[in-house]
């Protein structure tokens, strides 16, 4: 087994702490969107949310610095750079939820690996909730908006992630449409992950059954070989005893 790199060790040690930060961020963002605080409370939540985001920016640069080949790592993680940089642009700040959702899903996926039902339910619920917050925050207050309450946002998220889309609820802003595309891709990707996990589990079970069957067959073959050797030895001993008796009879 190869020794893990410094970047892999960093990722292993920070995965769950960053997942907890993601949970905290989603809680903060929920209060901001649903509670719509004002004054000092709003300012505090704003600072806390950007503080959480800065931890993920720091994690990106830490992994870049720890990479053995930084140029190769940079080119292979352009999407990570994209989701770190885009939210700095005011119209696309809602995309902060993409990286938080990704980190949280990775932690949940590792924790419930092999439990397809739990992974599916948790993944879908988290995806719908996060998308509902994002679309409501983006669309609410816009002239001609059709999504103006959290209930409508949740209904829109459900119909979008299942690619049904009834049509009476739809985003009118560019950011809202970006969220819709990400939600559809996320739903399709989640189904793909679940399908792949299920297929992997089936292949693993079949492989283990085959290995057990081969082991049992090998044990039976060894047992038969042992019995054959024992029978052969018994036959040789009987033949030797018969020849000995034949040799003694004339002398008698």
Quick one: pLDDT at residue 19?
76
What's the CA gap between 23 and 230, in Å, rounded? 68
The DSSP letter of residue 36 is: -
Q: Which residue has the tokens 């969107």?
A: 33
pLDDT in tens, 72-121: 989 988 877 776 776 544 334 444 555 555 555 555 555 555 456 566 67
pLDDT in tens, 113-144: 545 656 667 777 888 888 899 899 999 989 99
pLDDT band, residue 43 (cuts 50/70/90): very high
Contacts of 133 (CB under 8 A, 6+ apart): 26, 29, 30, 33, 34, 97, 153
What's the whole-model pTM score? 0.64
What's the CA gap between 49 and 97, in Å, rounded? 11
């Amino acid at each position: 087994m190869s020794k893990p790199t410094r970047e892999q060790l960093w990722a292993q040690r920070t995965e769950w702490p960053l997942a907890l930060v993601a949970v905290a961020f989603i809680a903060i963002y929920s209060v901001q969107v649903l509670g719509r605080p004002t004054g000092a409370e709003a300012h505090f939540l704003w600072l806390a949310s950007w503080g959480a985001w800065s931890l993920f920016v720091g994690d990106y640069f830490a992994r870049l610095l720890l990479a053995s080949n930084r140029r190769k790592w940079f080119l292979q993680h352009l999407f990570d750079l994209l989701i770190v940089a885009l939210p700095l642009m005011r119209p696309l700040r809602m995309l902060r939820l993409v990286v938080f959702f990704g980190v949280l899903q990775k932690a949940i996926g590792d924790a419930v690996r092999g439990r397809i039902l739990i992974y599916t339910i948790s993944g879908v619920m988290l995806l719908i909730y996060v998308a509902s917050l994002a679309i409501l925050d983006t669309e609410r207050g816009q002239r001609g908006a059709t999504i103006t309450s959290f209930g409508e946002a949740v209904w829109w998220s459900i119909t979008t992630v299942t690619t049904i889309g009834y049509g009476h609820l739809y985003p009118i802003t560019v950011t809202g449409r970006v969220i819709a595309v990400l939600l559809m891709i996320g739903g399709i990707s989640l189904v793909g992950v679940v399908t792949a996990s299920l297929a992997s589990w089936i292949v693993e079970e079949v492989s283990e059954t085959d290995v057990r069957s081969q082991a049992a067959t090998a044990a039976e073959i060894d047992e038969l070989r042992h019995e054959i050797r024992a029978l052969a030895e018994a036959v040789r001993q009987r033949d030797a005893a018969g020849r000995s008796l034949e040799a003694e009879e004339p002398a008698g």
